[in-house]
Structure 1
Amino acid sequence: MKLSVLVPAYNLQNFIAECLLSVLEQETDFDFEVIVCDDASTDKTQAVIATLETLFPNKLSAIYKTENQGLAANMSTLLAAAKGEYIAYLDGDDIALPSKLQRQVEYLDTHDDCHMVYHESDMFDSVTDKTIKLYSKDFYNWSYIPARSTIEHMIKYGTYMQASSVMFRNHSNLSKTVSPKCKIIFDYAFYINNAGYLQANVDFIPEVLGRYRLHENSFGQQTSRSFDRREQSLRDIELACELSSQFGIKPDLIKAGIAHHRFAAALYFLARDANDLFLKYIELASNSGLFFNDKHQTAYENRQNPNKLKNLLSDAA
């Protein structure tokens, strides 16, 4: 089997059919399997998946859990079932564009020194179907990301790869790549772990080969409604950075990555007038005396005057 496409699902009755069909209907010159694991959905997600199973009996395999166990356990189940030479992940509410699988498999087949490959993704509003922005090229740190990156870039600069855009080579440590302590941000630790075990060169395909759906219950929307979720997301991100020490990543780089993520969280809270949380995280991000960039130093130096700082950052934009 050349490729396994892994799709976790939970309460996605409005989106799971479009997601699965977007991969099941792709034309390729290789064999691939699509494995979907439903985490005991309470809506009609399982019924939708079951219908598609009857239509694609040789390509779609479904696993139905009877107890909700969370994304980490769901992903462990999917990884255990995967038989492909290559692994692709697809969130159950995202969409693969028609040439995604062929394009990424061809890239890995013809670039032996590449271990993970990701593509550009179109972030779109689920209600209007309108593009909001490109995920990678419009990422705030994109200027720091080379066409071939490594685990060090992932730690230092963050989630510039959209979760559903990545394909990587299968390996003997696949079962060790799930970090069950992560509660909200799963993909960051997952891809850092895979990059570490593969000692990966991570290449970028600039073509838009997937669509990242934003809707009322998507991760970003839920997080925007809860500061607690944003803080938990940061803890997950910090954990992912810390776990990279097992791959020989130097402590100074891990500290720099964590400091940068705290700085990003500080700006998030500043923009939402959560000044106490801004102050908390800008001080945590700056306690080493090292700054990610000039913007970071400006934020720290003006941390006691948030309104002035907003004007300074606005003028510098």
Structure 2
Amino acid sequence: MSIELSVLLITYNNELHIRETLDSLVQQSCDFNFEIAVGDDKSTDKTFEIIRAYATEYPGLFNIQQNRSQLGILGNLKTTLDRCNGRLIFNFDGDDIVKSKEALQKFVDTFKQKPEIGFVDSGYDRLLNEENKIIPFSNRSSIFASKETYKNLIKLGQVIPVGMCFKKDLIYQYVDFDYYMGQNITIEDYPILVDMVMHCDFERIEESLHIYRVHSSSYSHKKSFERIYFLNNQMLKLFNHFHKKYHFSKSLVETYVETHHKSVLFNAGKYENKNAGRESFNSIKNKSIRDYIHYWASQYPIVGRLIRLKKAFYSVLKKSLGSRM
């Protein structure tokens, strides 16, 4: 049986959400054969137990493996990619949802219509898990942007790859996994996207096909300054590598560096980190009023607490007014 597309699904402690993810995948309506290739990075909860139950219920559809030891997100992705049998790779996470039953079919049809392209992006809704709020088609601006703008958004790390499909052979041809893993990079999406967009043409499906779940327990949204600071610096390291490798423009480099320092300053203020706040504030060339506020919040805890109190007050007021309408 020839596999046209592999769903590359990496998981780690997704017990609360993995059923919704798997349900959305097994319900796909396709005129081709596909597989769900799962790489579980030694979850400590019931994630892999749930996956095994689905594999038993849907024989022939799943290709699953649990790592003997934790490989990290990039190592897990590469190991799972090596087991994929499809010509196309649909990359997905164990806490997101494919909301359209025709999503995989739409990807394959796009590649058939334009066989020269290397990858296809698509729209998604953003689900704010703790607030139980959905932002419809939250990446609309990047999906409808010009190709040049879209490429720059990828270079700047401003494209979140929820619901992307790649040609497997081109991933191997252009993505330098050995370098990234040798540098102990823990981010998997940004390096793949930059390497691919610098070598391949692409298309975008102009509709929202997926739901991207944002919650505090996910790897990229863990709420600690140390984790956020670590990821920010990993991104900066990658960006510096890419701008030397691909000769990014001076204006793009300046934009990224300024945005990086502003992001660090914001979180330094939020988590009251004086050293990081001082360092990032001094590195910002064009300071705004918000930058000064975030700096004061990092140096004087009372400022940050007053800001949070103000936000909490307006949030309660908004809910109260909303309930009366």
Report the TM-score, using the length of structure 2 for normalisation: 0.76
Counterpart of 2:288 (choices 291, 299, 302) is 299
CA distance in 1 between counterparts of 2:14 and 2:51 reads 10
CA distance in 2 between counterparts of 1:47 and 1:265 reads 38
1:252-290 deviation line (CA, Å, top 9, x unaligned): 36733541441441463376274743442244353xxxx
What secondary structure, in the 3-state scheme, does the structure 1 residue paired with 2:236 have?
helix
* Structure 1 range deviating more: 237-246 or 110-119: 237-246
Alignment match, 2:157:
158
Alignment match, 2:75:
73
What secondary structure, in the 3-state scheme, does the structure 1 residue paired with 2:85 have?
coil
Alignment match, 2:193:
191
Alignment match, 1:292:
none
Q: How many residues align?
A: 291
More helix by share: 2
CA distance in 1 between counterparts of 2:94 and 2:41 reads 11
Counterpart of 1:111 (choices 104, 109, 114) is 114
Contact persistence 1:266–1:280 (CA under 8 A): no
- The structure with the largest alpha-carbon Rg is 2
**Identity over aligned pairs, percent:** 21
Alignment match, 1:200:
200
Unaligned runs of 5+ in 1: 287-296, 312-317
What secondary structure, in the 3-state scheme, does the structure 2 residue paired with 1:90 have?
strand
Q: How many Å apart are 1:167 and its aligned residue?
A: 1.0
1:240 and 2:224 correspond:
no
Matches within 5 A, 1:1-317: 1-97=3-99, 98-126=101-129, 129-132=132-135, 134-137=137-140, 145-147=145-147, 151-155=151-155, 157-160=156-159, 162-171=160-169, 174=172, 176-178=175-177, 179-180=180-181, 181=183, 184-196=186-198, 199-222=199-222, 225-245=223-243, 248-250=246-248, 252=250, 255-256=253-254, 258-266=256-264, 268-269=266-267, 272=270, 274=272, 276=274, 277-286=276-285, 297-299=286-288, 303=292, 306=295
Distance 1:306 1:215, change over 3 A: closer
Contact persistence 2:269–2:295 (CA under 8 A): no
Q: How many Å apart are 1:35 and its aligned residue?
A: 0.2
Unaligned runs of 5+ in 2: 298-303, 308-325
Q: Which amino acid aligns with 1:92?
A: G
Q: RMSD over aligned Cα, in angstroms?
A: 3.3
Report the TM-score, using the length of structure 1 for normalisation: 0.78
Distance 1:231 1:177, change over 3 A: same
Q: Which amino acid aligns with 2:103?
A: K
Q: How many Å apart are 1:251 and its aligned residue?
A: 6.6
Contact persistence 1:36–1:61 (CA under 8 A): yes
Contact persistence 1:279–1:304 (CA under 8 A): no
Q: Which amino acid aligns with 1:218?
A: S
Distance 1:173 1:220, change over 3 A: closer
Q: How many Å apart are 1:105 and its aligned residue?
A: 1.8
Contact persistence 1:263–1:285 (CA under 8 A): yes
Distance 1:79 1:177, change over 3 A: farther
